[in-house]
Amino acid sequence: MTTYSSVRQPVYAKGGMVATSQPLAAQAGLFILREGGNAVDAAIATAAALTVVEPTSNGIGSDLFALVWHGGELHGLNASGRSPALLSREHLINGELPTHGWLPVTVPGTPRGWADLHARFGKLPFERVLAPAIHYARHGYPLSAVLASNWQRGIEFHQKRQGKEFEAWNGLFAPAGFTAQPGELWSSPAHAETLERIAHSRAADFYEGELARLIDAAAQDTGGLLRASDLASHQSEWVQPIRTAYQDHEVWEIPPNGQGLAALIALGILDGLPLPDHRDDVEGLHRQIEAMKLGFIDTQRYVADPQHAEVPVDKLLSASYLASRRALIGPQALEPEAGDPNAHGTVYLAAADAEGQMVSLIQSNYMGFGSGVVVPGTGIALQNRGHNFSLDPEHPNALAPGKRPYHTIIPGFLTRQGTAVGPFGVMGGFMQPQGHLQVVVNTVRYGMNPQQALDAPRWQWTGGKTIEVEHELGADLARALQQRGHNIQVQLNPGAFGRGQIIWRGEDGVMVGGSETRADGQVAAF
């Protein structure tokens, strides 16, 4: 077994466990577990708290995806939103889709996602579950170290933006005298009031009530396309999770419009390739990288909203197709091209309870704080997920009204021969499927515990033959990969490699969790 020195040790418990990137949010989930809530209650409480205590990565205006192990099977929820009905190519600016402002804003799916998860699986009253988040928003909390650093970068970025639509952002996240230093207090009474409206109405107010009216008014006042009718027509979707085999385990993801398919294709390719006994072997890393590149390029070619385009998931995961892609991997780095299967700013949390219910949940505004648009007086920071639409009108993910874009956020889940092992995830844009592959290989092939699997040095493909690596990977391995034809670049920012959480549950009910050392996170358990 390959091991790595860890700043943290894995956490063991039997009563319940929550792992996420911000300690106060983890404690919110733990509080709900100790109050008698189940894993879904704890996950919702943690997710709601994260909109307050880590607004640098998500907010009430986010999207959400979740995998829930309940009753001996896995359930999937796609709570991502669609583009406004008024959106058209005529709204592009100089033929481009901007990263910020109203144009990339899609309908936020998170509030309804919380309510739908709770309605199907929750135990405690919905208002009780959202209470910790409301408390932190109203009374404030001190910023943690990594959060403060990301917040300060966000202030420097967003304060340069001009336009009426960005004015409310500064008032909320960069008020006079606020410097975003570790330990500095931040609160948002408006955020608390919005969460209360969501709690009392089971999210209906957000989509059909006063909050919907305020979002509509803000859009019309500052040039947005989102309307109350877009909000009113939004629904979450319960979906059948997709999977692939890796050794004697099954790896599960949410189906498109998410990019979890990339991890499954890559792991399916790897399942037929032997990996060396030692994790830090150039042959093993080379094969993982090549498989990931092929998985990614196929996903970028085919993934779209399945209600608007056929996504050939079964064909892409078929044994024959995976074998054809596997055959492309040789001793040298390849320039990946999509195959033909017909012939191809985020927070994550994991929660588990003593009864065996487990949740893998991810929500995000995208690009840090999101679009930079805040609905005045509400604390609602809106996402910019629409930026992931393709501007090629012939692409299945082409920009269009009423459509879900290609989505980067993906929750993962691991089973073994039909028995639940547990939830896992690695947040961080296009790093996410790459992080999924690496932690699964670290765990299943190399026998690492959750904390070791997260602490191991990471790599990521960024395009062509370019691979970014953490400096902990070491110069010898970096040079060996370079000799295989990879363009190796050392990335010194640990945040570029994602932030993961893992909870595994044994047959005896003992849980073991790990939380990302690249973030402020914590495993909270009892």
Q: Which residues are catalytic?
A: 346
Place of tokens 């370019």: 466
* DSSP, residue by residue, 266-331: HHHHHTTS---SSSS-HHHHHHHHHHHHHHHHHHHHH-S-TTTS---HHHHTSHHHHHHHHTT--S
Burial degree of 518 (CB within 10 A; 0-12, 13-18, 19+):
buried
Report whether 464 contacts 487 (CB < 8 A).
yes
Distance of CA 199 to the CA centre of its chain: 23
Report whether 80 contacts 108 (CB < 8 A).
no
- As a whole number of angstroms, the distance between CA 107 and CA 103 comes to 12
Report whether 18 contacts 348 (CB < 8 A).
no
Report whether 406 contacts 388 (CB < 8 A).
yes
Integer angstrom CA distances of residue 323 from 141, 315, 319, 439, 463: 52, 12, 6, 23, 23
* DSSP, residue by residue, 444-481: IIT---HHHHHHS--EEEEETTEEEE-GGG-HHHHHHH
CB-based burial, 381-411: b 16+ in 10 Å, e otherwise: bbbbbbbbbbeeeebbbbbbebbbbbbbbbb
CA geometry: angle 380, 382, 387, nearest 5 deg: 175
